[in-house]
C-alpha cells in the first residue's frame, strides 16, 4: 500500500523521516513516498485531502479536523522559543501600530500566534523564505520568521521584537507553543491509521537513538546552516516531545485553538483528537 508523507523540506522533518526514507526500519506492507513543500502549501493540500500523512500547522487543524486527525507524535513545539517577529531596527509592539507585518501563510501557527500576541496586527502573507530579505529591503517594517531563520537572524543584523514562543510560555503557565503536527487522513480506517502511526513513531525514535547518522542525512536539507546550527535547530524541534505531545503539550494545543476561536480567527473545533 502506497502512503505519501508530505512534509517541509527542512532538516528537522528530514531527521524525523530519515529511518523510513533510508530503509532503516521495517515498513511492512506500506511503501512510503515523500512529498516536500512549504507548510502553507501543505495546509492547502490538506483541504483537498491530497496526502495520506501530512505535516500541518496546528492553526490549520481547525480547518481540517473533519478530514485529518493529529498523530500523537511528530509535533513541532516551541519550548520557550518559536517564530520570531523581526525588524531592521529595535521596535516595540506599540511601534507596530498600522505597520504591515509579513507572515508565512494565513493558516500557519506563526500567523495565529502573531494575532494572539497583537490582535490589531496588520498582516500580509509572504513566502517564508522571502520574509527576511523583504524586511531587509524595507518593503516591510517587520516580519515573522520560521524554520532556520530563527537561529540565524541575529547574525544577519536583525532585531527581535518578540519571540512568540517565549511570550506564549510567559503568559500560558509555561506551556510550549504548538506550531506543527503530523496528521493522518481519517478515511484510511482504524487498522491502517494505527499501523502507519506506529511506523512513523518508530522512525522518530530511530533518529533520536541514532542521532549522528540521522543528522548527517538531515544536513542535506539544512539550507546553508553549519553542522553546529543544524544540530541546534533539529534539537529544538525533534526531541522527546516529538515522540509524545505529553499532557501539557496536548493542553497547549487545545488552549491555542480555543484562544484563536474566541477571538474569531478560526472556526470552532472540538477537543483535538490525538492518535496514539
Give me the active site residues, please: 147
CA angle, 235 as apex, 229 and 236 as ends, to 5°? 90
Q: How far apart, in whole angstroms, are the C-alpha atoms of residue 225 and residue 231?
A: 9
Provide the b/e sequence for 75-113 (b: ≥16 CB within 10 Å): bbbbbebbbbbbbeeebeeeebeeebbbbbbbbbbbbbb
The neighbour count for residue 182, using CB atoms within 10 Å, is 28
3-state helix, strand, coil in the chain (%, to 5): 45, 20, 35
Map residue 188 onto helix, strand or coil: helix
Amino acid at each position: 500500500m502506497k502512503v505519501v508523507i508530505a512534509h517541509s523540506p527542512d532538516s528537522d522533518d528530514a531527521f524525523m523521516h530519515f529511518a523510513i526514507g533510508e530503509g532503516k526500519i521495517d515498513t511492512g506492507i506500506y511503501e512510503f513516498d515523500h512529498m516536500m513543500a512549504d507548510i502553507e502549501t501543505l495546509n492547502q493540500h490538506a483541504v483537498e485531502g491530497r496526502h495520506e500523512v501530512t505535516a500541518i500547522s496546528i492553526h490549520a487543524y481547525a480547518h481540517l479536523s473533519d478530514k485529518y486527525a493529529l498523530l500523537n507524535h511528530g509535533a513541532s513545539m516551541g519550548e520557550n522559543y518559536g517564530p520570531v517577529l523581526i525588524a531592521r531596527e529595535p521596535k516595540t509592539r506599540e511601534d507596530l501600530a498600522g505597520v504591515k507585518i509579513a507572515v508565512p501563510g494565513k493558516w500557519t501557527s506563526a500567523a495565529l500566534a502573531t494575532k494572539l500576541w497583537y490582535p490589531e496586527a496588520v498582516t500580509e502573507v509572504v513566502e517564508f523564505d522571502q520574509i527576511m530579505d523583504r524586511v531587509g529591503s524595507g518593503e516591510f517594517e517587520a516580519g515573522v520568521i520560521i524554520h532556520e531563520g530563527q537561529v540565524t537572524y541575529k547574525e544577519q543584523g536583525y532585531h527581535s521584537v518578540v519571540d512568540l514562543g517565549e511570550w506564549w510560555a510567559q503568559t500560558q503557565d509555561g506551556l510550549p507553543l504548538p506550531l506543527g503536527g503530523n496528521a493522518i487522513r481519517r478515511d484510511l480506517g482504524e487498522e491502517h491509521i494505527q499501523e502507519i502511526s506506529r511506523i512513523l513513531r518508530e522512525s522518530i525514535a530511530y533518529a533520536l537513538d541514532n542521532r549522528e547518522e540521522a543528522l548527517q542525512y538531515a544536513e542535506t536539507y539544512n539550507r546553508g546552516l553549519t553542522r553546529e546550527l543544524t544540530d541546534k535547530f533539529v534539537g529544538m524541534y525533534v526531541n522527546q516531545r516529538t515522540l509524545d505531545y505529553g499532557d501539557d503539550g496536548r493542553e497547549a494545543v487545545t488552549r491555542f485553538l480555543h484562544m484563536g476561536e474566541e477571538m474569531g480567527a478560526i472556526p470552532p473545533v472540538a477537543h483535538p483528537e490525538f492518535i496514539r
